[in-house]
Amino acid sequence: MPKQAKVDLAELGIGLLASHREVAQAAEAMLRRRYRWAKADEATILVALGGDGFMLHTLHHMLESGAARPVFGMNRGTVGFLMNEWRLDRLAERIEGAKAIRVAPLQMTARTVSGETFTHAAINEVSLLRETRQTAKIEVSVNGRTAMPEIACDGILVATPAGSTAYNLSAGGPILPLQAKMLALTPISPFRPRRWSGAILPDDTNICFKVLDPENRPVSAVADQFEVREVAQVDVSLDRERSLTLLFDPEHALDERIAMEQFAT
């Protein structure tokens, strides 16, 4: 029986990336036997094999390198909320017919107690978390105005619509439709005021967190997986100029998936 010729995805500028997990590596081997690929650093579209963590890693790498390209993910991880279903066949047709979803990251600028400044992007959320058994005490300002002089809590986070079904939802925050030009501001285990459940803010809002008594009540700031410890002040805003494009099968696109999470039981 004659050997099946490889389908050429290289001429379409499609490259392939895979996480280090065994199941993703096995899927990569199958895809490389079936298709011819462009080099990943030269591709105009990327296929990413893994889970949500690997998709976030891929997107962050593009933000850091300044080479943002559309990404079509296939789930070879655990949850795969940001991924499409894994299938070997008709990949070129799937990518050609994919629905493009644009997401804008948050920008976190964190200043530490020692005076260092760190800037990181976050696609899902920026969260402030207490570092010790001591409750964090944080002042919250919105567009330069003090909205909450003090909240005592385990932490507080700002989530994008794309990230609203992740940590934000687990912390009791709202699900934001992807088309909503909003951000979720959600407390994590608030002690005082106990009944404050958070806020929904326009996505052009600048949010500033000041850590009160940071020496005795240290707080870390986390932008997705990037952590800065012992912060004194954290500023968060949406960075529309560095929006990213995810590609989805039309029948299972991210915007519809987020909307349906409101009915999950």
User: Which CATH number characterizes residue 95's domain?
Assistant: 3.40.50.10330
Range of the domain at 74: 7-103+243-263
User: Do 112 and 86 belong to one domain?
Assistant: no
User: Do 48 and 157 belong to one domain?
Assistant: no
Q: Is 115 part of a structural domain of the chain?
A: yes
DSSP 84: B
Q: What is the CATH number of the domain that holds 112?
A: 2.60.200.30
**Exactly one of 8, 41, 52, 249 is catalytic; which is it?**
52
Helix (H, G, I), strand (E, B) or coil at 93: helix
On whether the CB atoms of residues 201 and 185 are closer than 8 A, the answer is: yes
DSSP 38: B
The whole-number pLDDT of residue 1 equals 44
> Which residues, at least 6 apart from 198, have a Cβ–Cβ distance to it below 8 Å?
172, 173, 174, 184, 185, 186, 187
For residue range 120-155, what is the model confidence (pLDDT) as tens digits? Answer: 999 999 999 999 999 999 999 999 999 999 999 999
Q: Does residue 218 have a cis bond before it (omega within 30 degrees)?
A: no
State the DSSP string of 126-194: EEEEESSSSPEEEEEEETTEEEEEEEEEEEEEEE-TTTTTTHHHHTTPPP--TT--EEEEEEEEEEEST
For residue range 163-175, what is the model confidence (pLDDT) as tens digits? Answer: 999 999 999 999 9
Number of H helices, E strands in the chain: 5, 18
User: Do 95 and 209 belong to one domain?
Assistant: no
pLDDT tier for residue 194 given thresholds of 50, 70 and 90: confident
User: Do 193 and 150 belong to one domain?
Assistant: yes
The whole-number pLDDT of residue 264 equals 84
User: Do 134 and 74 belong to one domain?
Assistant: no
Q: Which residues are annotated as a binding site for NAD(+)?
A: 52-53, 57, 124-125, 154, 162, 165-170
How many distinct structural domains can be found in the chain?
2
User: Do 232 and 120 belong to one domain?
Assistant: yes
User: Do 25 and 136 belong to one domain?
Assistant: no
Tell whether the model's pLDDT for residue 2 goes beyond 60.
no
Tell whether the model's pLDDT for residue 195 goes beyond 90.
no
Question: Catalytic residue at 52?
Answer: yes
The whole-number pLDDT of residue 225 equals 87
Instruction: Give the predicted TM-score (pTM) of the model.
Output: 0.91
